[in-house]
Copies of this chain bind each other. A is one copy, B any other.
Amino acid sequence: MAETEASSDSAAGMTLDAVRDALVRQEDTIIFYLIERAKFPINSPTYDESRASILGFGGSLVQFIVKETEAAQAKAGRFQNPEEHPFFPDVTPPSLVPPYDYPLVLHRAADFINVNDQIWDMYFKELLPLLTEPGDDGNYASTASSDLNCLQAISRRIHYGNFVAEVKFRDAPQDYEPAIRAQDRDALMKLLTFEAVEEMVKKRVEKKAKIFSQEVTLNSTESKGKYKINPSMVSRLYGEWIMPLTKHVEVEYLLRRLD
């Protein structure tokens, strides 16, 4: 059994270090897309569901763009990758491409976890007003595509909690099994929480936001403290929403890990 697990670990390259590297790399992606979304003002007609009847879409313009783009990506096989989760799973068409042999890492517990509804609400209700300036420049379609980039990057990061949980479980099943058998969410959440690590992540993403959103000129090497997005907002995004939702995914996964 130990041998089987070791070989499947190596097939998947899925060590705790590899998981951490992936999460660190995903921070850059999230920050790049936030900077690109902040290029546009809030552009509120993008989110106005009462325009639906005018437009002939079944919902707001952003819902239309997300559904249509996800549908094309789904046909091209995007959601065959266990890292990817659609925002509109009920209308996601099946893949038309031959299946790719993704490494089998996760327990089937992951199949039941999709927190994109919570991510959607957080993004539009909490984050977007902090990220954007008021205003309307008419670029609703580009704005919605930019939102989709942010949503998908944040969703991938949060659902990566499945991999985090799996790797942590494999490393020390004896630590998790009692809480799983007792279906004790609080105990699992405690086991998965490392405040010092979370503080470090918040500091790192704030530093990244400063570096990536500075105005780079040839003459000065120092940014003049003028950033395209607010670095402390990125720290807050991680502290209040991304890390808690990732741990929520981890707990949900572990609760089913012995089924």
Which chain B residues lie closer than 8 Å to A55 at the CB level?
96-97
Main secondary structure of the interface of A (DSSP, over half): helix
Of the listed stretches A75-83, A109-117, A160-168, A249-257, chain B binds: A75-83
Separation in Å of the A230 CB from the closest CB of chain B?
17
A75 touches B69 (CB 8 A): no
Of the listed stretches A27-35, A169-177, A183-191, chain B binds: A27-35
Q: Which residue of B lies closest to A102 (CB)?
A: B138
Instruction: Give the distance in Å from the alpha carbon of A96 to the alpha carbon of B68 in the complex.
Output: 14
How many copies of this chain?
Answer: 2
Which chain B residues lie closer than 8 Å to A100 at the CB level?
138, 140
Task: Known A97-B140, A211-B216, A218-B200; judge A72-B77 contact (CB<8 A).
Answer: no
Which chain B residues lie closer than 8 Å to A145 at the CB level?
69, 73, 78
Separation in Å of the A192 CB from the closest CB of chain B?
22
In chain A between 117 and 170, which residues have their CB closer than 8 angstroms to a CB of chain B?
138-142, 144-145, 149
Separation in Å of the A231 CB from the closest CB of chain B?
12
Mark A72-113 against chain B: 1 for CB-CB distance below 8 A, else 0.
111111101100100000000000111011100000000000
Separation in Å of the A23 CB from the closest CB of chain B?
14
Q: Which residue of B lies closest to A209 (CB)?
A: B216
Name the 3 nearest CB pairs between A and B, nearest first. A100-B138, A68-B72, A76-B141
A and B contact pairs by CB, cutoff 8 A, 17 listed: A25-B39, A28-B216, A28-B228, A29-B39, A54-B97, A56-B96, A57-B96, A61-B76, A68-B69, A68-B75, A72-B72, A149-B149, A203-B218, A204-B216, A204-B217, A207-B216, A211-B212
